[in-house]
Chains A and B, each alone.
Chain A
Amino acid sequence: MSQLLLDVNGLTMRFGGLVAVNGVNLKVKNRQIVSVIGPNGAGKTTVFNCLSGFYIPTEGSVMLKNKQIAGLKDYQISRKGLVRTFQHVRLFQKMTVIENMLVAQHRHLNTNLISGLFKTPNYRRLEQEAMDHAVHWLKEVDLLEFANREAGNLSYGQQRRLEIARCMVTQPELLMLDEPAAGLNPNETKQLDELIIKLRDEHEISILLIEHDMSLVMGISDHIYVIAQGTPLANGTADEIKNNPDVIKAYLGEE
């Protein structure tokens, strides 16, 4: 059996009187694609914010590789190998594509001021490694030819891919994608589908996915969690979810 990578139990997030997330449980194993679905405002993004440390959960435990991470600072969590993208793309718009990739590798570089001023061999070597690593990932997402463009000038689909590549250079073990297919055309969605599967199969990472595009979710997920109004509604494989009467009701009731 593959190992448990992320284990979330009883995650609850309250904003004043509003309970945005209420007792959510999630399990992600190594090399798995797990999806979280639910109607608008269900609290999916809030779950991500809790896991990635942007919010400190009101209750519940978040275990990454059997270590508690709830309560750690956002940057500490991302250094432990849990990295996310955003529902609305967040790139460094005025920096070039390659610079975006290098900023993401900041902590792997030699940031000592003296070494930088004198360009010591160690500084050069790490800078070159980061560059190579960035080039590798730009190739993977098909953006190498745009390396010297300003990120803000890329098309929307390219920006989405760059955001994923930028996460990947940080060498995560769990990648969390918040609606990566939103705003993509069918062709780009298909590319994304392939990219996510490749990340799991070739790069051996796990992916936690929030998505509204049901055909994408049903096609690639190993396991699916459904939440509605912050509360867990169901979980299971794609087929189990498709035929779950509660889920159908929640979605039909909304539409």
Chain B
Amino acid sequence: MTTNKFYNAIFAAGITLILACLMIGVKLDTSGTQLAVKGATTAQWTWIGGGIAIVFLSQLFTNQIDALFRMIPKPSISTMLPEEKKMATLKPWLIAGAIVIMVIWPFMVSRGSVDLATLTLIYIMLGLGLNIVVGLAGLLDLGFVAFYAVGAYTYALLSQYFGLSFWVCLPISAGMAALFGFVLGFPVLRLRGDYLAIVTLGFGEIIRILLNNWTEVTGGPSGISGIAKPTLFGLEFTRKAKGGEDAMTFHEYFNLDYSSSYKVIFLYLIAILLVCFVIYVINRLMRMPIGRAWEALREDEIACRSLGLNRTAIKLSAFTLGASTAGFAGAFFSARQGFISPESFIFIESAIILAIVVLGGMGSQYGIILAAIVMTILPELAREFSEYRMLLFGLLMVLMMRWRPDGLIPTKRPHLELKQQ
């Protein structure tokens, strides 16, 4: 047992050494016109040595480390909250309170914070959308960003070529992403777990490459810029109205001085509105027959089939609805950004969204909101470490899986109760 552990630790340390030597130890550099191999500096070698030692020791003492993790308390939400009956009466007030705070808050803080909050809200939307697919229906989708891209480009292109407004394009984008989800899902949902993951991964890349190369329409790598911002019943948030003769701007209409923070706050409020809408819809879905069918299919597919449920149709509905949520978020993203390019829709985005779902606790909406906040705000706080972002990200995932494999807030699905008669 212990010798086994020892070999294991040596093996892991060896792998670390090899990887570190290849990735950090030697570097290709240009000296004049020639390529030269350069070794790492002594300081770097010290770091590599330290890293190997850590890997070796952590592998050797896994049991002790696990015990340590077990000692860290796991605050459980259910014990912290008042009992269920009280909760039921309190809940509407809490939600109303939260919404009021969220609406008032942006007027008191800096533009930067509001902007960051808007970004967080986009990730919340994406997390909630992917949660339908992964958390509720149990389908591993590694190319979710493709639907986000479809939504974003749908709005950008419609607005650029046909001058359609954001509010018209929002449902169109969602529908377009849903259509893509449907078309992709139809043939591939017969596949099991891992294969599905690989196909969706490929699909994500295909969409990105397509956007990159279809230069006449999408602008290729240089993307699309100058995408129109949303308007408030036709009122624009620019300094001067752009849209024709009788177009008005927000500050002119209300006789205010022009300030660019109106636009930022307005975008934030739209994001809040969209997130509330998405949360409401998903909440309803979970209590509807389709939500129950997703859960049942995840629990026991064979039993579902024997009861007359068409599994392809049920999976397809989850896939399509998840995709449409991403399309929704995508349209808003391109409106907020004003500029999109294929670079915004790389695989890492899919990975981050998936991490939000896993971190939050698959299927748990509160968990996903919390995880989205953590995942977008932490990198901002740790700006100096931005080079190590992925490294920290990996570390966070490892620690989380050790400490709370069920996610930050484990699922508590709303059970349907039979009122005693």
A residues sitting closer than 8 Å to B (CB atoms) are: 52, 54, 74-75, 78-79, 83-84, 86, 90-96, 98-99, 102-104, 106-107, 109-111, 113, 116-117, 127, 131, 135, 147-148, 166-167, 170
Main DSSP-derived SS at the B contact region: helix
Segment with Cβ contacts to A, from B68-76, B96-104, B243-251, B412-420:
B412-420
Chain A residues with CB below 8 A from B304, complex form: 103
| B299 proximity list for chain A (CB < 8 A) | 92-95
Tell me whether B303 and A95 are in contact (CB under 8 A): no
B280 to chain A, nearest CB (A): 9
User: Which residues on the A side are within 8 Å of B295 (C-beta)?
Assistant: 92, 94-95
Q: Determine the distance from Cα of A126 to Cα of B288 in the docked complex, in whole angstroms.
A: 12
Shortest distance from the beta carbon of A95 to any chain B beta carbon, whole Å: 6
**Chain B residue contacts of A113, Cβ below 8 A:** 285, 288, 290
- The segment out of B153-161, B306-314, B381-389 that lies at the interface is B306-314
Q: A92-B299, A95-B295 are in contact. Are A116 and B290 (CB under 8 A)?
A: yes
B residues near A127, Cβ cutoff 8 Å = 289
Q: A91-B300, A106-B293 are in contact. Are A131 and B418 (CB under 8 A)?
A: yes
- The complex places the Cα of A242 from the Cα of B418 at a distance, in Å, of 47
Cβ of A98: which chain B residues have Cβ within 8 Å of it? 416-418
Residues of B within 8 A of A111 (CB): 288-290
Decide: B307 and A54 in contact? CB cutoff 8 A.
no
Q: How far apart are the CA atoms of A111 and B293 in the complex, in Å?
A: 10
Interface CB pairs A-B, < 8 A, 24: A54-B302, A75-B311, A78-B305, A78-B307, A78-B308, A83-B308, A90-B300, A91-B303, A92-B303, A94-B299, A99-B292, A102-B289, A102-B292, A103-B296, A104-B307, A106-B289, A106-B293, A106-B308, A107-B308, A107-B309, A113-B285, A116-B288, A135-B421, A148-B418
Task: Indicate which residue in B289, B296, B307, B310 contacts A95 across the interface (CB closer than 8 Å).
Answer: B296
A103 touches B293 (CB 8 A): yes
Is the Cβ of A103 less than 8 Å from the Cβ of B309? yes
Of residues 39 through 82 on chain B, the ones whose CB sits less than 8 Å from some CB of chain A are none
Given A102-B289, A103-B296: A148 and B417 interface contact (C-beta under 8 Å): yes
List of B residues within 8 angstroms of A90 by Cβ: 300, 302-303, 306
Residues 69-128 (chain B) with a chain A CB within 8 angstroms: none
B18 on interface, CB distance cutoff 8 Å: no
CB of B23 within 8 Å of the partner chain: no
Does B281 have its Cβ within 8 Å of any Cβ on chain A?
Answer: yes
B: interface residue count bin: 20 to 34
| B307→A103 contact, CB < 8 A | yes
Q: Which of B302, B307, B415 contacts A106, CB < 8 Å? A: B307
Q: Give the interface centre of A86, A90, A91 by most chain B CB atoms within 10 Å.
A: A90
**Which residues from chain B contact A117 at a C-beta distance below 8 Å?**
281, 284, 288
Within the assembled complex, what's the spacing in Å between the Cα atoms of A85 and B124? Answer: 41
Beyond known contacts A92-B299, A92-B303, A116-B289: 14 more, CB 8 A cutoff: A54-B302, A83-B307, A90-B303, A92-B296, A95-B292, A95-B299, A102-B416, A103-B307, A106-B292, A106-B293, A106-B308, A110-B289, A113-B290, A166-B307
Residues of B within 8 A of A147 (CB): 418
Query: Of A75, A95, A131, A135, which one neighbours B308 at CB under 8 angstroms?
Result: A75
Q: Which of A54, A110, A113 has the most CB of B within 10 A?
A: A113
| B310 adjacent to A75 (CB under 8 Å) | yes
Total number of A-B contacts with CB less than 8 angstroms?
A: 101
Q: List, in ascending order, chain A residues with CB within 8 A of B309's CB.
A: 75, 103, 106-107
CB closest residue in chain A, given B300: A90
Task: Point out residues on B near A: beta carbons under 8 Å.
Answer: 281, 284-285, 288-290, 292-293, 295-296, 299-300, 302-311, 413, 415-418, 421
- Residues from chain A with Cβ under 8 Å of B308 in the complex: 75, 78-79, 83, 104, 106-107, 170
B306-A78 in contact (CB<8A): yes
**Closest chain A CB from B313 CB (angstroms):** 9
Report yes or no: A74 in contact with B306, Cβ–Cβ below 8 A.
Answer: yes
B421: which A residues are within 8 A, CB to CB? 135
Contact A86 B310 (CB under 8 A): no
CB distance from B167 to the nearest CB of A (A): 20
7 closest pairs, A vs B, by CB?
Answer: A116-B288, A90-B303, A78-B308, A147-B418, A92-B299, A103-B296, A74-B305
Residues in A with CB closer than 8 Å to B302 are 54, 86, 90
CB of A84 within 8 A of CB of B306, answer: yes
Known: A135-B418, A135-B421. A75 touches B305 (CB 8 A): yes
**Nearest B residue (CB) for A115:** B288
Inter-chain contact B305/A54, CB cutoff 8 Å: yes
Q: Please state if B290 and A83 are interface contacts (CB–CB under 8 Å).
A: no
Q: Hey, which chain B residues are within 8 Å of A148, CB to CB? A: 415, 417-418
Give the CA-CA distance A131 to B421 in the complex, in Å. Answer: 12
- In the assembled complex, the Cα of A133 lies from the Cα of B87 at a distance in Å of 31
Tell me which residues across on chain A come within 8 A of B310, comparing CB atoms. Answer: 75
Q: Is the CB of B300 within 8 A of A92?
A: yes
**How distant is the Cα of A109 from the Cα of B296 in the complex, in angstroms?**
15
The interface residues of chain A lying within 8 Å CB-to-CB of B418 are: 98, 131, 135, 147-148
In the assembled complex, how far is the CB of residue B209 from the closest CB belonging to chain A, in whole angstroms?
33
Residues of B within 8 A of A116 (CB): 284-285, 288-290
Distance in Å: Cβ of B418 to nearest Cβ of chain A: 4
Least Cβ–Cβ distance between B391 and chain A, in angstroms: 36
Structural contact, A83 and B306, CB atoms closer than 8 A: yes
Please give the distance in Å from A121's CB to the nearest CB on chain B.
15
Look across to chain A and name the residue whose beta carbon is closest to the beta carbon of B291.
A116
Q: How far is the CA of A135 from the CA of B418 in the complex (A)?
A: 9
Nearest B residue to A97, CB-CB: B418
CB-CB nearest in chain A for B289: A109
Contacts of B289 in A (CB 8 A): 102, 106, 109-111, 116, 127
- Cα distance, A147 to B416, chains bound together (Å): 10
CA distance A107 to B296 in the complex (A): 14
CA distance A130 to B72 in the complex (A): 46
**How far apart are the CA atoms of A93 and B300 in the complex, in Å?**
9
Question: Is the CB–CB distance between A96 and B416 below 8 Å?
Answer: yes
CB distance from A116 to the nearest CB of B (A): 4
